[in-house]
């Protein structure tokens, strides 16, 4: 966040200071003692009596709270900037994994949303990123050891734990989760995690084999039962060459949105969003079906992102091999007909996102018994058209969602075909993506999309599917606001 100091008046700075003092339970007298300022000076500033206190005086009170001027400015400016984390202190624990580099970006994302970010790094984390870099981005000191208490700031693990409104562990390594699950406190990170009563969010990151190991599965279950929240991991490529699977840390934007959701301040709070995802399977007989290669990843990521933004989400999912996203009502279906019924039953909604790859045709007469192989060649397969779920909902007179969004997966003439689709299907936006095999989108981890609406075409860069989801949800929230 770039912050112009002149835009923030003394009143906002003083109220940010007052909020901080209240949060940590520090009295004006204690603030006076710690800052070296006179009692009446502090009292007058906090009560608003002193009309225009100087920034250096305010900085002294901030220092008494263990925060720098940059954080005070961020906390003061954030409310006007609509930051969902304004006035919140987020303690970020960076674990020792290759994904730690993404945590540096996470610091920026949290501060953009108005949070005051304090950083604890495990010893292993300092092998991947430096405390200097984390400190420069967070605008404050980075805490690394249990026994290196800095007397001047007097910040021990109990105080770090008490002053956090939320604790985020990113990356949460297998080792860190194992130590948390066992209640150990053999370093500053685990000591803070045991001492805090603030909500704790973990963003796991590890090799897929480590994530699926029974020991990790057991630890995750224990931590969930302890009320710990999770975001991710996502599926995708690992740092190790050739390794793919579940284990990539969630993207910084996804984690920041999950932190906002903890405080219920999401941009879609109070909204209902319907999402379709995955393929459909259209039976030919009891054992055979017509289907396609959709993995459901993009649709599921959109449902998860909408839930993190505070929406009530109904996800109508075709047969997929990926888990249900947390915090979402999932209706599992097989066929296009069932998908249409489930979507209609879920109406009304504020927005509907049709990300499913619905089969265009189904067998005209699915057989009750398995079709036998016979001499004389294969049987004729008569097809009939499936209902178009998107168009059916978009053209509804009653209960049409305010925002109807379709996808166009094309292998050629992407933009021309997607623009045609916008009109033909009555959608408000079409998310167009190139699914030619060269693009590697189908079943892949990344997506390059274009948003087509009546007002033109927006080209987005190549992004992880989770990030496409976050951006789309932010755009939906802005359109509904
Ligand atoms: O016509 P096409 O399948 O390319 O259109 C894609 C868009 O229409 C997607 O948003 C998809 O979910 C939706 N669709 C649908 N019902 C169908 C076919 C497509 O909702 N039967």
What pLDDT, on a 0 to 100 scale, did the predictor assign at position 150?
54
Sequence-distant (≥ 6) Cβ neighbours of residue 89 within 8 angstroms: 20, 23, 115, 116, 117, 118, 163, 164, 165, 166
What pLDDT, on a 0 to 100 scale, did the predictor assign at position 149?
54
What pLDDT, on a 0 to 100 scale, did the predictor assign at position 125?
97
- Range in 39-48, 240-249, 469-478 the model is least confident about: 240-249
Q: Is the pLDDT of residue 86 over 90?
A: no
3-state secondary structure of 3: coil
Q: Is the pLDDT of residue 79 over 50?
A: no
From the CA atom positions of the chain, what is the Rg in Å? 26
What pLDDT, on a 0 to 100 scale, did the predictor assign at position 329?
92
Q: How many angstroms is it from 38 CA to the middle of ligand 1?
A: 69
**Which homologous superfamily is 5-77 in?**
lambda repressor-like DNA-binding domains (1.10.260.40)
Q: Is the pLDDT of residue 66 over 70?
A: yes
Find out if CATH 3.40.50.300 is the number for domain 272-480: no
Contact 410, 435 (CB under 8 A): yes
Q: What is the pLDDT of residues 377-407, one digit of tens each?
A: 899 999 999 999 999 999 999 999 999 999 9
- pTM for the full predicted model: 0.66
Sequence-distant (≥ 6) Cβ neighbours of residue 143 within 8 angstroms: 118, 119, 120, 121, 155, 160, 188
Q: Is the pLDDT of residue 1 over 50?
A: no
Q: What is the pLDDT of residues 449-458, one digit of tens each?
A: 999 999 899 9
What pLDDT, on a 0 to 100 scale, did the predictor assign at position 433?
87
* pLDDT cut 90: percent of the chain above it: 60
Of 235, 332, 233, 347, residue with least CA distance to 277 = 332
354 within ligand 1 shell (Cβ under 6 A): yes
What pLDDT, on a 0 to 100 scale, did the predictor assign at position 219?
97
Q: Rounded mean pLDDT of 227-255?
A: 85
Contact 156, 120 (CB under 8 A): no
3-state secondary structure of 399: coil
Choose the catalytic residue: 7, 207, 219, 292: 292
* pLDDT cut 70: percent of the chain above it: 92
What pLDDT, on a 0 to 100 scale, did the predictor assign at position 356?
97
Same-fold call for 89-262 versus 272-480:
yes
Of 304, 210, 194, residue with least CA distance to 258 = 304
282 within ligand 1 shell (Cβ under 6 A): no
Query: Quick check: is 207 catalytic?
Result: no
Sequence-distant (≥ 6) Cβ neighbours of residue 427 within 8 angstroms: 354, 390, 394, 404, 405, 406, 421
Q: Is the pLDDT of residue 82 over 50?
A: no
Determine the Cα–Cα distance for residues 199 and 171; give it in Å rounded to an integer: 17
Which one is predicted more confidently, 262 or 424?
424
How is the chain split among helix, strand and coil, in percent rounded to 5? 40, 20, 40
Q: How would you write 183-232 as a 3-class SS string?
A: CCCCCHHHHHHHHCCCCEEEEECCCHHHHHCHHHHHHHHHHHHCCCEECC
Nearest CA to ligand 1 atom 13: 390
Of 189, 25, 23, 16, residue with least CA distance to 97 = 189
| CATH number for the segment(s) 89-262 | 3.40.50.1950
Residue-range domain boundaries for the chain = 5-77, 89-262, 272-480
Which one is predicted more confidently, 280 or 33?
280
Determine the Cα–Cα distance for residues 61 and 329; give it in Å rounded to an integer: 47
358 within ligand 1 shell (Cβ under 6 A): yes
CA angle 461, 322, 393 (to 5 degrees): 70
Q: Rounded mean pLDDT of 194-208?
A: 95
Sequence-distant (≥ 6) Cβ neighbours of residue 116 within 8 angstroms: 20, 67, 71, 74, 75, 88, 89, 90
Contact 44, 28 (CB under 8 A): no
How many residues in total does the chain contain?
481
Q: How many angstroms is it from 344 CA to the middle of ligand 1?
A: 15
What pLDDT, on a 0 to 100 scale, did the predictor assign at position 367?
95
What pLDDT, on a 0 to 100 scale, did the predictor assign at position 83?
66
Q: Rounded mean pLDDT of 295-306?
A: 94
Q: What is the pLDDT of residues 132-174, one digit of tens each?
A: 999 999 988 899 986 665 544 555 778 888 889 999 999 999 9
What pLDDT, on a 0 to 100 scale, did the predictor assign at position 442?
66
Contact 86, 59 (CB under 8 A): no
């Amino acid at each position: 966040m770039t912050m112009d100091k002149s835009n923030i008046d003394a009143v906002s700075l003083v109220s940010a200071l007052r909020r901080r003092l209240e949060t940590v339970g520090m009295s004006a007298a204690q603030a006076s003692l710690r800052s070296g300022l006179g009692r009446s000076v502090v009292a007058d500033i906090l009560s608003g009596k002193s009309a225009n206190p100087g920034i250096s005086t305010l900085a002294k009170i901030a220092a008494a709270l263990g925060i720098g001027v940059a954080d005070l400015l961020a906390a003061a400016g954030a409310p006007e900037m609509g930051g969902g984390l304004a006035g919140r202190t987020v303690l970020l624990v960076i674990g020792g994994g290759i994904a730690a580099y993404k945590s540096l970006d996470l610091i920026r994302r949290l501060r953009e949303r108005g949070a005051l970010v304090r950083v604890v790094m495990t010893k292993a984390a300092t092998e991947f990123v430096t405390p200097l870099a984390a400190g420069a981005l967070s605008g404050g000191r980075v805490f690394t050891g249990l026994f290196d208490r800095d007397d001047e700031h007097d910040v021990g693990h109990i105080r770090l734990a008490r002053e956090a409104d939320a604790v985020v562990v990113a990356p949460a390594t297998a080792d860190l989760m194992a130590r948390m699950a066992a209640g150990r406190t053999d370093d500053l990170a685990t000591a803070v995690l045991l001492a805090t009563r603030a909500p704790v969010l973990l963003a796991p990151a590890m090799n897929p084999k480590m994530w699926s190991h029974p020991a990790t599965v057991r630890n995750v279950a224990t931590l969930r039962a302890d009320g710990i929240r999770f975001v991710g991991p996502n599926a995708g490529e690992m740092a190790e060459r050739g390794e793919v699977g579940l284990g990539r840390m969630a993207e910084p934007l996804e984690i920041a949105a999950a932190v906002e959701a903890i405080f219920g301040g999401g941009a879609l709070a109070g909204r209902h969003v319907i999402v379709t995802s995955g393929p459909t399977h259209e039976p030919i007989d009891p054992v055979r079906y017509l289907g396609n290669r959709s993995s459901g990843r993009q649709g599921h990521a959109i449902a998860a992102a909408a839930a993190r933004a505070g929406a009530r989400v109904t996800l109508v999912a075709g047969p997929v091999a990926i888990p249900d996203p947390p915090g979402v009502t999932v209706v599992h279906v097989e066929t296009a007909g069932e998908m249409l019924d489930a979507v209609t039953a879920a109406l009304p909604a504020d927005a509907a996102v049709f990300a499913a790859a619905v089969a265009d045709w189904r067998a005209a007469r699915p057989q009750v018994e398995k079709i036998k192989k016979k001499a004389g060649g294969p049987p004729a397969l008569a097809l009939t058209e499936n209902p178009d779920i998107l168009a059916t909902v978009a053209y509804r007179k009653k209960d049409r969602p305010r925002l109807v969004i379709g996808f166009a997966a094309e292998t050629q003439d992407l933009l021309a075909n997607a623009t045609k689709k916008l009109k033909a299907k009555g959608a408000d936006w079409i998310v167009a993506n190139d699914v030619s095999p060269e693009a590697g989108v189908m079943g892949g981890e990344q997506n390059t999309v274009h948003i087509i609406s009546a007002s033109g075409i927006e080209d987005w860069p190549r992004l992880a599917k989770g990030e496409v989801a976050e951006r789309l949800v932010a755009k939906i929230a802005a359109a509904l606001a």
